[in-house]
Amino acid sequence: MIHKQYENGEKLGEECGVFGIYDFGGNDVASAIYYGLFALQHRGQESCGIAVSDTRGPKGIVKSHKGMGLVNEVFTPEVLEGLKGDIGLGHTRYSTAGSSTRENAQPLVLNYIKGTLGLAHNGNLINAPELRRELEYTGAIFQTTIDSEVIAYHIARERVRTASVEEAVARAMDKIKGAYSLVIMSPRKLIGARDPFGFRPLCIGKRDQAYILASETCALETIGAEFVRDVEPGEIVTITPDGIQSDRSHCIAKEQEARCIFEYIYFARPDSHFDGVSVYQSRIRAGRFLAMDAPVDADLVTGVPESGNAAALGYSLQSGIPYGTAFVKNGYVGRTFISPGQSSRESGVRIKLNVLREAVKDKRIVLIDDSIVRGTTSGRIVSMLREAGAKEVHMRISSPPFLYPCYFGTDVPARDQLIAYNRSVEEICRIIGADSLEYLGVERLGEMIDGLPHCTACFTGKYPLDPPEEDIRGEFKK
C-alpha cells in the first residue's frame, strides 16, 4: 500500500464519499447518483464511479463506469445515458491506503456464485493485511490494493453460507476492524452499514419512492431528498420495497463510540449535519471558544478559505472584532495544476489564493485555519499577509496540534512529518512567522459537538482501537 502525500502540500485528505439509491418507482437513478457525488466531491477528488442495476430485469447484470478525475470529468451525458437501472451506487475517492490507479476506483462489483455484489466504502481497516493474507491463502485473487476489496470478498464468502446478504454483511463485520461506512448493492436490496465506533458518517434520505444512503446530508439536499435519519454506529440497514429493516447487533455502548472529530472541523461540508449536530454550528463554536481562550487585540478576523471561514466568523462574533475577507480564491484551480520546479518563483499557495491588500494593509489580523500539519502552507500565508502590509498576524487554529498518525481514514502523516511533534507552540509560531499562535484545547472538542463521543487519537494518542502492528499506511516503503 502506498501512503498518499498531500496534493496541496498541507491540507488533510479524507478517504471517500459514498452514495446509494433504490427507486421503487422504477426510475433510472444514474443522474441522481451523479449529482449526489457532485455534492460529495470535497470528500475525494482522485477518482469516482457509478454502478447501476435494473431490479426488474435479469438478476446479476450490473452496468458500471469509473475513472480517474473529478465527477464532471469522468461522467459525460453519453456515459450517464448508458447507465440504466433503478438501484445503484456511487463513490468518490481520495486514497489514504492503496495506490492512485483506475483499478482502485470504486464502486467494486463482484460476480460470484450467488450473483453480483456492488460495494462502496469510506474508511480504513486496521486489520486489512491480515484478512487479505487469509483470503489469498485460500485462493482469492485480488484486482486492487484497497481494503474495500477485502470487505467485499468477506461479504461474498459469508453470503455462500448465509440465508441473506445482510446476514453476510453482519458476519463480515465480526471480522473487519477499523473505520467503515459501507453502501452495498445486491440484485434486489440496498444495504448500509456503519462501524460500531461510528468513525465516518452515513445517513438515510427519501425522495418520492426512492430511498438514499449517503455520506453527508448535503448530498440529499442536492437531489431534493429529505433527511430521514442517520445510520447508527454499528447498525446495518436493509432497504427493499417492503421498507427499511435494521440490525443493531453490532452496536456498542454510546460512550465507546468514536466519531472522527475532523468531520466537524474540516472534512464535511458546512451545510451537512452529522449525528444530529450541524457542521456549520460546530465550527462557529470552535471559533467562539478560540476567542474566549486565546483573545488578542486586533482590527480584523479572517479565515483561510474555505475551511477556516466559519470558525473565523465565530471568533468575530465572540470577540467583537470585525470579520472580513482577506483572500481571493481562484475558483478555477482544480485538484491539479502545472507544478513549478524548485527554481521557479511561483507558489502553489499564490496560484490558489491572493491577498486583498486594501483589507489588510496597516491592520492587526487574526488569521483562523482548521489545522497546521507540516506548517509550510501556514508560513506562506502569513508571509503573504505581511507582504500585503499587515502590521501583525495572530494565528488561531480551530483544532488541537497534530501529534500522532491516524489509522482510520484521515491522512495525518507520520509523526516526524508533523510540525507540532517535538516542538512547542512558541517554536511553531516562530517557524510560520506569526506574531502569536494558539490552538483549540482538546477539552473543547466535546463542547463543540454537543457532547457526542468522538476520536481524539491524532491529538492525544488515545486510540479507540489498538493501532495496527503492520504498516497499513505504507510510510516505510520506497
Kindly list the catalytic residues: 16
From the list 151, 158, 82, the residue with the least C-alpha distance to 118 is: 151
Residue pair 123/180 in contact by the 8 Å Cβ criterion: yes
How far is CA 150 from each of CA 125, 166, 278, 379, rounded to the nearest angstrom? Answer: 9, 17, 33, 41
Q: CA 6, 92, 86 angle in degrees (round to 5)? A: 180
**242 burial level (CB within 10 Å; 0-12, 13-18, 19+):** exposed
Beta bridge partners of 186: 189
How far is Cα 377 from Cα 371, in angstroms, rounded to an integer?
Answer: 11
Residue pair 420/403 in contact by the 8 Å Cβ criterion: yes
From the list 55, 100, 363, the residue with the least C-alpha distance to 239 is: 55
From the list 40, 45, 47, 43, the residue with the least C-alpha distance to 20 is: 40
Upper half-sphere CA count for residue 444 (Cβ side, 13 Å) = 22
Q: CA 280, 281, 283 angle in degrees (round to 5)? A: 70
- Three-state secondary structure readout of 20-77: EEEECCCCCCHHHHHHHHHHCHHHCCCEEEEEEECCCCCCCCEEEEEEECCHHHHCCH
How far is Cα 200 from Cα 152, in angstroms, rounded to an integer?
Answer: 18
Q: Which three cell numbers stand for residue 65?
A: 463506469
Q: Within 10 Å of residue 338's Cβ, how many Cβ atoms? A: 7
